A and B are shown apart, each in its own frame.
Chain A
């Protein structure tokens, strides 16, 4: 498939001719998703997708365009209208130029078994999730995404690759409580519907009889989904070369802004990473250490933000990064060796939180965020979970929460976690933190 996509990309570059700088990204594949609610499958969807994105620069004037039709007539029309738009623009004094030729290693990451996964196999995974609840009301989804991509530009950079991802994510509901579970892998064969369903059901059962807790500062043990949301917010709003350049980020390079146990990096080049190993500008993704031993160590760049600081792109351009900036999409929080049971056993009085919900930034520079707990919030007293509490609202700086002296434990359970910005972006463990500011309860 990738050879065919490369042929399309080459064709568009050729159509653009020598009068323009051109970069072309072609993606194609299939995405399928099986949704269930009230313990039965109610929506079962799929699509065969193809997209051609073009950026053209004519005499320093840039424009972009896209189409989902890869026939010659559509491609010629795409080139013509994009060139016409570009000529009408004012010159871009900061145009950084196209990515130079550079090879990408191990670009074909699609698992053959996942490519071949059927609606029947997804239904079987859902069936196992539902059955594991023993009569609880189940809801969630199981999906498979297989994407091939090819990039070419008029500087001679040509790369292609493929990726696959499978996920099951769901809840069990008892009528007064809910518990969640999440699994993501490159291989559909790794998805264990029964295991995920059992965890969700256990959390739901433990949630029965929840009481309202007085808001305040509590020590917390956060499950990977809650940690995943913290980390993607740090990445999107903080370790983003554009946000840093604009003065909107908390990042102070070389400063111990985090606890010394924190090591955070982004590495789309890791053969185990999800997604493609190159960005939408054709630059190979590089490993970037963002935090090392608690010291803020780096930020990610696309070609434009790198040019502003006299550096090189780190391979983190995304669609629309001209506006939102480069974003780390293969984040890893490392260094954990604490069993979760031991972290809980170390807490005298605190809370265990399975997931956060509806998190929004109140102030970007200090990264103060408000949100709620969901699908599993439990009281920890004298080292053991003693009961469930109703969902709580928090208002908390995500940077300060991981600040020096604040990280009391890092779990040995790192995995791909769900997050506020979606699946597959982070691989993180559980964390034990000294304090988390809960500012409201069920009664507001």
Chain B
């Protein structure tokens, strides 16, 4: 496979590229969907192809093909360079690439059970059991479960001499129960909305006790139909870990992407409220806030050996003691900003241009616990599991909805609340973080559906988090 990638790079250089790299990617994936005791869909997909990237002046050119014939891959390289040249009609300053080590390397995701080797019947049986259990609860109209697995080989070659092969394995799934009322629906999910995904094999699925949580999740969904609505006003809130993980993803992870900060994503994904001259001094939140981007975390969904520019995976401090100190970057954006390259450039398959993506952007654990935080709260709401998320194009103004909430009164959890929502402005909100649970409750939550770029690309990212408490937050927004 290295030969195909090499031929593509040679084709690009011969056509005038000052730099070129190519990835041959072979992807196998499997997905299973079950609803109400019936298999809705079982699908296995396989793709293979080469994507070649050519730099000419201020523009990347990129071309991808599934044809791995020798002349076809060379032609793909040539088309990438010619496409880049066409950009010169609307030119900018020439792009530079920050230096990275040129390596020949191998990497494989640590895993115990190859997920595609586990019998389909075992996977289907698990989902049918969970679905059937949820259906036994009165009031449950929809009982769904799903599993997904990805097994990917990548061969990367650059005109500077990189030759890297990686074998990445990702696994996960989840289930949810929906109760349907006359004028509303209520849903509960496990382990989180859209399921939980990690790097690793089928052991990821075994670790989460699907069967043991199905009845509780269904009972909560049914009970939500008759629960009191979340009150309107300003409250102390405690966010369960997976909800805090999505809060990190949306209000920190995207805001620190250097391509957004530089304006490269302005028209679609948006820009950022962060300005580079304030790197190192801008207060992002309270002193409890320690955020890292760590692509080396074992088991986390955004973990790999090398990014799609051949830069080694690394850990970078993003927020230290509440102060913004780092960004997510690639070789071109880092060179432009005068920062070290972070190894955070990835593509969604062989046929997409690599771009800055989150790795594992997580909040390091604190010293408290969920139990202590509840006990320390006189009047508040505990909110769990994301139901909706919306944030503006500068990653400032957000509104989140959760699946379920519980009132907190005088240090104890009280009645269940439905439709809990909260809203805020990023730095003001993070300044209100005053308690954070510790390592025993710290989980590498995975987000398998992060959209960015044109054409759209979907990335798999990780966000480690434990439950956290925030003071004086606006809750219960209604239209």
Tell me the A residues contacting B by CB distance below 8 Å: 31-50, 62-69, 78, 81-82, 85-86, 88-90, 92-94, 118-120, 122-124, 126-127, 130, 137, 139-141, 143, 169-171, 173, 178, 180, 246-248, 320, 322-323, 357-366, 368, 370-372, 374, 391, 393-397, 422, 437, 439-440, 442-444
Contact = CB atoms under 8 A, between A and B. Distances in A.
Interface in B409-454: 419, 421, 423-425, 428, 454
A65 B62 contact: no
Contact of A90 (B39, B266, B352): B39
A40 B391 contact: no
B174 interface: no
Interface stretch (B301-309, B376-384, B393-401): B393-401
B135 to A, nearest CB: 13
B267 A320 contact: no
Interface stretch (B5-13, B81-89, B463-471): B81-89
B121 interface: yes
A201 to B, nearest CB: 14
Given A64-B41, A247-B185, A397 B479 contact: yes
B424 A36 contact: no
Interface string B347-362: 0000111000000000
B395 to A, nearest CB: 10
Contacts of B399: 370, 393, 395, 440
Interface of B: 33, 35, 38-49, 51, 58-67, 79, 82-84, 86-87, 89-92, 95, 119-121, 124, 128, 141-142, 178, 180-181, 183-185, 262-268, 270, 351-353, 387-393, 397, 399, 401, 419, 421, 423-425, 428, 454-456, 474, 477-479
Contact of B178 (A92, A248, A362): A248
B423 A94 contact: no
A37 B266 contact: yes
Nearest to B35: A323
B43 A64 contact: yes
A59 B288 CA distance: 59
B102 to A, nearest CB: 24
A358 B124 CA distance: 35
21 contacts: A40-B58, A40-B87, A40-B90, A40-B92, A41-B87, A42-B59, A44-B61, A45-B64, A45-B352, A62-B39, A64-B41, A66-B46, A123-B86, A170-B267, A178-B266, A180-B267, A246-B142, A323-B33, A323-B40, A360-B390, A397-B479
Given A93-B38, A365-B185, A44 B180 contact: no
A127 to B, nearest CB: 5
B416 to A, nearest CB: 17
Contacts of A322: 33, 40-41
Contact of A362 (B44, B124, B387): B387
B63 to A, nearest CB: 5
Contacts of B265: 37
Contacts of A444: 397, 423-425, 428, 474
Given A365-B184, A393-B423, A82 B455 contact: no
B84 A440 contact: no
Contacts of A50: 66
A64 B82 CA distance: 38
Contacts of B90: 36, 39-41, 123, 126-127, 130
Given A44-B84, A46-B79, A68 B49 contact: yes
Contacts of A41: 58-59, 87, 89-92
Contacts, number: 261
A41 B124 CA distance: 48
B43 A65 contact: yes
B454 A35 contact: yes
Contacts of B428: 444
A148 B134 CA distance: 43
DSSP class of A's interface residues: helix, strand, loop or mixed? strand
Contacts of A124: 89
A364 B82 contact: no
Contacts of B49: 68
B87 A357 contact: no
Nearest to A140: B267
Contacts of B183: 365-366
A31 B455 contact: yes
A43 B60 contact: yes
B92 to A, nearest CB: 3
7 closest Cβ contacts across the A-B interface?
A: A40-B92, A119-B86, A395-B479, A41-B87, A139-B267, A123-B89, A247-B180
Contact of A42 (B33, B41, B60, B352): B60
A358 B389 CA distance: 8
A323 B83 contact: no
Given A40-B87, A372-B397, 9 more contacts: A43-B62, A63-B44, A119-B87, A178-B266, A322-B40, A362-B401, A365-B181, A365-B185, A370-B399
A419 B44 CA distance: 30
A437 B478 CA distance: 9
Contacts of A366: 183-184
A48 B64 contact: yes
B62 A45 contact: yes
Contacts of B39: 62, 89-90, 92
B58 to A, nearest CB: 6
Q: Which of A126, A170, A395 has the most CB of B within 10 A?
A: A395
Contact of A88 (B121, B263, B401, B456): B121
Contacts of B388: 360-362, 370
A322 B35 CA distance: 10
Contacts of A43: 59-60, 62, 353
A444 to B, nearest CB: 5
Contact of A68 (B48, B86, B180, B474): B48
Contact of B63 (A47, A81, A140): A47
B44 A82 contact: yes
Given A33-B454, A365-B185, A85 B44 contact: yes
B38 A92 contact: yes
Q: Which of A33, A40, A49, A81 has the most CB of B within 10 A?
A: A40
Nearest to B48: A69
A140 B477 CA distance: 33
A32 B304 CA distance: 29
Contacts of A361: 388
A246 B391 contact: no
Contacts of A364: 185
Contacts of B84: 44
Nearest to B123: A88
Contact of A358 (B59, B66, B178, B391): B391
